[in-house]
Amino acid sequence: MVAENHQCLVMTIAGFDPSGGAGIIADLKTFLHFGCRPAAAITSLTFQNSTAVFGVIHETDQSLRAQVLPVIQEHKVAAVKLGMLPTAEIVAEVVSLIHEGYLPAPVIDPVLQSSSGYELAEACAIEALLRELIPLARLVTPNIPEAELLTGLRIEGEQGMRQAAQRLREMGAPAVLVKGGHLKRKSAPGFQQSSENPEEAIDLLDDQGEITAFREEWISAPAVRGTGCILSSGIAACLAQGLSLVESIRLAKGYVTETIRFAQDVSGGD
């Protein structure tokens, strides 16, 4: 764990999951784990539990700004993680806050759809994300389905992950971490594993053309909600404390692995 520093404030701008499995609750717990002072602004109230999303009520751009301004008037935001940005107006407001110098270059976790299939971002919001926000990012962290949706590519293995990361960088992202966990769950005919080792999971970083592959043991456990939120929040917390991007990703991935192992243990998995 990174050394504790309560003066280092990290903000999440994301959706609220009342069940606590994902969204800002997962983000805030992660900031605290890494020794940072947490802050949050809600973009959408979601109605969900571990099985599905049942509805949403989105914030306005004005209400988002009203949440952020009192915080930045009192504290410097050392890092920011962006999650669910459901409307083009919300995206535009975040872009304005960055341009105005209130927020640093963000870690963007492009939350587009729930695992149960509920659409969490309008089409115009995705267009605005690609056109206006991704070029301002420090890092973008899509999973396989998100990377496919954002790039229009079909990803089948490590080479596909490289191509998707490159495509997102061509769209303006300075650095992209494509998360490979979903590759193990793909069932398309003829699908090729992402690695020669079937028990290996891989995430791939393209940082301004420099490629780093993060290879870990695949943990056979039930799907754990919120791992994408935890990973991106952990990266933001480590960056806030001056660590390099690669080291921030390694530490955040270690925490995600601990979370998955714990979920496996408490569920009675082998």
For the chain, what percent of residues have pLDDT higher than 90? 74
Domains located in the chain, CATH noted = 9-142+225-264 (3.40.1190.20)
Label residue 184 by pLDDT band (50, 70, 90).
low
CA distances from 112 to 128, 144, 146, 171 (A): 13, 12, 7, 18
Least confidently predicted of 7-11, 120-124, 247-251, 266-270: 266-270
What pLDDT sits at residue 77?
97
Q: Which residue is associated with the tokens 């398309």?
A: 188
Q: Check whether 97 has a pLDDT greater than 80.
A: yes
- Stated as kind and residue range, the H or E segment containing 29 is helix 23-33
Q: Check whether 244 has a pLDDT greater than 70.
A: yes
What pLDDT sits at residue 243?
98
Average pLDDT, integer, range 53-72: 96
What pTM did the predictor assign? 0.89
105-140 tens-digit pLDDT: 999 999 998 877 788 999 999 999 999 999 999 999
Q: Check whether 192 has a pLDDT greater than 60.
A: no
Q: Check whether 191 has a pLDDT greater than 50.
A: no
> How remote is the C-alpha of 36 from its chain's centroid?
18
What pLDDT sits at residue 224?
74
- Evaluate whether 19 touches 114 at the Cβ level (below 8 Å): no
Sheet with 200-207, edge to edge strand ranges = 53-58, 37-48, 9-16, 77-82, 107-108, 139-140, 175-179, 200-207, 210-217
Q: Check whether 149 has a pLDDT greater than 60.
A: yes
What pLDDT sits at residue 50?
84
Alpha-carbon distance of 15 to 34, in angstroms, equals: 21
What pLDDT sits at residue 131?
97
pLDDT, averaged across the chain: 88
Label residue 194 by pLDDT band (50, 70, 90).
very low
Alpha-carbon distance of 192 to 187, in angstroms, equals: 10
Label residue 257 by pLDDT band (50, 70, 90).
confident
CA distances from 130 to 44, 67, 160, 163, 196 (A): 20, 24, 20, 17, 33
